[in-house]
């Protein structure tokens, strides 16, 4: 029988009821499953912050160690009263935390954090949550075994902080080690390079870990248990008439995630394509015992009457603009700029060119560096290099968007009638998405305008309080 791979998020283990919900979920599968976990809520950020502080101050070591112990041991104490059992589990967690303490001392001594140490330390959020969950499940009668990525051979391309899985190397080892038909608990967020170094899969990467493992074992499905209601026609924090989306295809889910929907890590669907493994999203808070997903993602294309399934946005885009007569036709400029950005690990999210301008979309956190690098090339064909970062990207996503006449016109009409200026448009690069850039201040109004145009009767709209920063 094929495995189902299940992923629980960091917020799934907060209150006393949470563990019992997880147990109920696991029992409902009625067979062994592979469980991937992310760190407890906020732990990865705390570890990151601690790394920075520990370089300068030794007393920070104690602070983070106490915090990690308190957070994890308190959860054990919530669930287990029997003192011997409680002590035994606490000891296991403490031993793992002590491994970390030794590295922290080294970091403080040398005052530096090499990349391989950074990734190793940040992987501890997940290493601790997997040990915690596995130990608690065992106490409550679920036969589960912890399996670390280094033990199952989840091999990456070796890029620190943002690695991809090397499937050719991983498939045989993962298949072999997870072959015992029992329930495994695996920490997400990291794999190991061929040389055995821990490499992180990018922030939010546990979804991607789970998808990668699903591909390796050719799982029946990948089930992500979240504490939100899957994908919807708009962010429910902006509008309270957001419509849940029951079905999406892989490309729609990937584009929505890439353009800001915070449900999935954007790379999650990629490993699933190879064996058409369905991705099912569940809301753990509304679980009633039946395995009924809130959103089902597969390779079937569904065209809905509105064509657009969702409007989404992201603030994490900034524009690097290169101006000069003929930049669009002179060979070499683009190559020089993209090469230097690549050398410094700056990801180019999109490029739009005309005769006199090249506009590169970068992450906000990369824009200053990107600007300095472009300047450092001293390209004589460029008159000016500019940046803009007070912008938001808005995307409309839906199968059939490019083939159906009038969808783009309706989208922009809705935005223009609110007097909103559109700074840049891209259509055609993706079969299922059109995106454009507006000033950050206009973002919420633009999203609302489009949602009204495609999903509602304006009079019936019940608009929630405006929120500008989400
Ligand atoms: N714990 C990691 C992060 O916060 C990975 C994850 O949550 O998926 O980015
Ligand atoms: Mg997460």
Instruction: Give the model's confidence band at 80: pLDDT under 50 very low, under 70 low, under 90 confident, else very high.
Output: very high
For residue 468, the model assigns a pLDDT of: 28
- Average of per-residue pLDDT across 391-404: 93
Average pLDDT, rounded, for the chain: 92
- Best of 7, 13, 37, 44 for a ligand 1 pocket test (most atoms within 8 Å of beta carbon): 44
Which residue among 212, 227, 242 closes a domain? Answer: 227
Of all residues in the chain, the percent with pLDDT exceeding 70 is 97
CA of 140 relative to ligand 1 center, distance in Å? 26
**Segment 452-470 mean pLDDT:** 51
| Pocket of ligand 1 contains residue 122 by CB under 6 Å | no
Q: So what's the pLDDT on residue 464?
A: 39
**Which residue shows structure tokens 């283990």?**
13
Q: Do residues 395 and 430 lie in contact, with contact meaning Cβ atoms separated by under 8 Å?
A: no
Q: Is residue 247 part of a domain?
A: no
Q: Give CA–CA dist 28/30, Å, rounded.
A: 5
Sheet architecture: strand order including 318-323: 348-353, 357-362, 318-323, 384-388
The best mutation among 35, 39, 210 to test binding of ligand 1, ranked by most ligand atoms within 8 Å of the C-beta, falls on 39
Residues 58 and 201 reside in one and the same domain: yes
Same domain, 326 and 442: yes
Asked if residue 255 is part of any domain, the answer here is no
DSSP string, 276-323: T--EEEEEGGG--SS---SEEEES-----TTS--EEEEES--EEEEEE
**Residue 438: its H or E element:** strand 433-439
Does residue 394 surpass a pLDDT of 90? yes
Q: Does residue 316 surpass a pLDDT of 90? A: yes
Is residue 189 lining ligand 1, measured as CB closer than 6 Å? yes
Cα(203) to ligand 1 centroid in Å equals 5
Please work out whether the CB of residue 125 comes within 6 Å of at least one atom of ligand 1: yes
Can you give the pLDDT at residue 332? 83
Inside any domain, residue 289? no
Tell me how many domains the chain contains. Answer: 2
Which CATH number do you get for residue 388? 3.30.2130.10
Distance from the alpha carbon of residue 266 to the mean position of ligand 1, in angstroms: 13
- From the CA of 262, the nearest ligand is 2
Same domain membership, residue 317 and residue 204: no
* Mean pLDDT within 389-398: 96
Structure-derived torsion over alpha carbons of residues 90, 92, 95, 96, reported in degrees to the nearest 10: -110
Which domain range does residue 133 map to?
4-227
Burial of 57 by CB count in 10 Å (0-12 exposed, 13-18 middle, 19+ buried)?
Answer: exposed
Paired tokens of 397: 């996503």
Answer yes or no: is 142 within a domain: yes
pLDDT one-digit tens code per residue, 356-382: 899 999 999 999 999 999 999 999 889
Tell the residue nearest (CA) to atom 2 of ligand 1. Answer: 204
CATH of the domain at 147: 3.40.1160.10
Asked whether residue 42 is domain-assigned, the answer is: yes
With CA atoms as reference, report the closest residue to 192 among 157, 144, 232: 157
Same domain, residue pair 48 and 169: yes
Say what the pLDDT of residue 469 is: 28
Find all residues with CB under 8 Å of 305, minimum gap 6, and list them. Answer: none
pLDDT one-digit tens code per residue, 143-195: 999 999 999 999 999 999 999 999 999 999 999 999 998 999 999 999 999 99
For residue 467, pLDDT beyond 60 = no
**Ligand 1 closest atom vs CA 126:** 1
| Residue whose CA lies nearest to ligand 1 atom number 6 | 204
Query: How high is the pLDDT of residue 32?
Result: 96
**Distance from the alpha carbon of residue 156 to the mean position of ligand 2, in angstroms:** 20
Q: Quick check: 8 pLDDT over 90? A: yes
Domain-ending residue, one of 194, 227, 260: 227
CA 36 to ligand 2 centroid distance, Å: 11
The per-residue pLDDT for range 266-290, each reduced to its tens digit, is 899 999 999 999 999 999 999 999 9
């Amino acid at each position: 029988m094929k495995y189902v791979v299940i992923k629980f998020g960091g917020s799934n283990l907060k209150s006393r009821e949470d563990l019992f919900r997880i147990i109920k979920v696991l029992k409902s599968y009625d067979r062994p499953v592979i469980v991937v976990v992310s760190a407890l809520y906020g732990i990865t950020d705390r570890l990151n912050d601690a790394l920075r502080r520990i370089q300068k101050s030794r007393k920070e070591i104690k602070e983070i160690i106490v915090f990690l112990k308190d957070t994890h041991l308190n959860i054990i104490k919530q669930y287990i009263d029997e003192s011997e059992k409680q002590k035994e589990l606490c000891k296991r967690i403490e031993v793992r935390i002590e491994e970390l303490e030794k590295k922290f001392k080294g970091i403080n001594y040398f005052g530096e954090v090499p990349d391989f140490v950074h990734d190793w330390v940040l992987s501890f959020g997940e290493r601790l949550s997997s040990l915690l969950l596995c130990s608690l499940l065992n106490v409550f009668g679920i036969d589960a075994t912890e399996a670390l990525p280094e033990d199952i051979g989840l091999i990456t391309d070796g890029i620190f902080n943002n690695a991809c899985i090397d499937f050719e190397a991983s498939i045989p080892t993962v298949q072999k080690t997870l072959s015992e038909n029992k329930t495994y608990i695996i920490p997400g967020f990291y794999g190991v390079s061929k040389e055995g170094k821990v490499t992180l899969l990018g922030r939010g990467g546990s979804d991607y870990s789970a998808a990668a493992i699903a591909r390796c074992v050719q799982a029946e499905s990948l089930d992500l248990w979240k504490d939100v209601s899957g994908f919807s026609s708009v962010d429910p924090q902006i509008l309270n008439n957001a419509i849940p989306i029951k079905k999406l295809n892989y490309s729609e889910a990937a584009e929505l995630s890439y353009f800001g929907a915070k449900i999935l890590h954007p790379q999650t669907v990629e490993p699933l394509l190879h064996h058409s493994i369905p991705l099912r999203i569940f809301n753990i808070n509304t679980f009633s015992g039946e395995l009924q997903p809130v959103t089902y993602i597969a390779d079937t294309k569904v065209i809905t009457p509105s064509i657009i399934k969702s409007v989404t946005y992201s603030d994490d885009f900034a524009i690097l603009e290169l101006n000069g007569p003929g930049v669009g036709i002179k060979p070499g400029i683009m190559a020089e700029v993209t090469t230097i950005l690549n050398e410094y690990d700056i990801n180019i999210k999109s490029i739009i060119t005309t005769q006199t301008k090249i506009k590169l979309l970068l992450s906000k956190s990369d824009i200053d560096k990107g600007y300095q690098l472009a300047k450092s090339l001293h390209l004589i064909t460029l008159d000016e290099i500019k940046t803009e970062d007070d912008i938001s990207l808005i995307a409309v996503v839906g199968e059939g968007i490019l083939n159906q006449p009038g969808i783009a016109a309706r989208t922009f009409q809705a935005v223009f009638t609110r007097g909103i200026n559109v700074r840049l448009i891209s259509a055609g690069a993706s079969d299922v998405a059109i995106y454009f850039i507006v000033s950050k201040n206009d973002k919420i109004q633009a999203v609302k305008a489009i949602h009204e145009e495609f999903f509602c009767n304006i009079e019936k709209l019940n608009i929630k309080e405006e929120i500008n920063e989400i």
